[in-house]
Structure formats: C-alpha cells, structure tokens
Amino acid sequence: MSMKVRKQVVSILLAVVAVMALAGCAAKTLESFYGKPANKQQIDKMMDQMLSVYSAYYSDVDYEIHGNDITYKYYYSASVSQTGVDSLKKGLAAQDFSSMAKSTKDDIEKEAGIRPTSVTFIYYTDNGTEIYSYTE
C-alpha cells in the first residue's frame, strides 16, 4: 500500500471514529439516564428520603434535569416574612455550596457514569418565591 493510500485510509478511519464519538456523546446525557424508569425511581426515592429527613424545614424537594444540567429545588414549609427571607438569604449565601456541588457531581458521575455540566440549588419560600440559588 502506498503512503498516499495509507494517509487516505487513516483520514477516513479518524473521521469515522470522530463521528462515532460524537454520536455516543449526544446519546448519553443525565436526562436520558434518569429518563429510564428504574433510574428515575432511584432518584425519586432519594428525594423522598431527603424530604423525610428534612421535613421539619421543607414541605417539598424536587429536581429537574435538562441535558447534563441538574437543578435541586427546596421549598420551605413555614411561612417566611421578608425579614426572614433576608435572613435565610444571608445564611444560605454563607454556606459552602461549592463543595456540595462538587460532591453532588462526583456522586452522580459514580452512579450514572456521566458528570453533570452544572448543578444548581434553589431555595424557595412556602409560596414559591425564590430566596437563593447557586449554580456551579
């Protein structure tokens, strides 16, 4: 085989590998992973357990997944005044959400084999007004 033909064959093989790699990446997302019934049941169970542990604080915890982005939503159970909202916001802003986001990404990557692009935590009052959010 001549050098010219070898280069053409290698170029074609590289192009095929690149297309296959891109096709594989496009099909493997957190949204598709957690869209499978068994996996969705698992994350729903985890959220239910979290709610039972923190039921003194939250009336609901929820999540949304779009592509490789996951958002956790926490709804406080008690009615909160504006002063209380301001106090909660300051308290939440002082928390180390960076390490929480990193450990969440690590846990999801272990479970799903996919590292989230972003993790967002959003806290709401009992009537759905956003208090604080953090994204990493």
Residue range 18-22: mean pLDDT, rounded: 40
In eight-state DSSP terms, residue 126 is T
Q: What whole-number percentage of the chain has pLDDT above 90?
A: 68
Task: State the pLDDT confidence band at 49, using cuts at 50, 70 and 90.
Answer: very high
Residue range 34-61: mean pLDDT, rounded: 91
Domain 28-135, what fold? Alpha-Beta Plaits (3.30.70)
Task: State the pLDDT confidence band at 81, using cuts at 50, 70 and 90.
Answer: confident
Give the DSSP letter string of 19-50: HHHHHHHHH--HHHHHHSHHHHHHHHHHHHHH
Which tokens sit at 41? 């049941």
Nearest Cα neighbor of 88 from 53, 29, 131 is 131
| pLDDT at residue number 1 | 55
CB proximity list for 73: less than 8 A, separation 6 or greater: 60, 61, 62, 63, 64, 122, 124
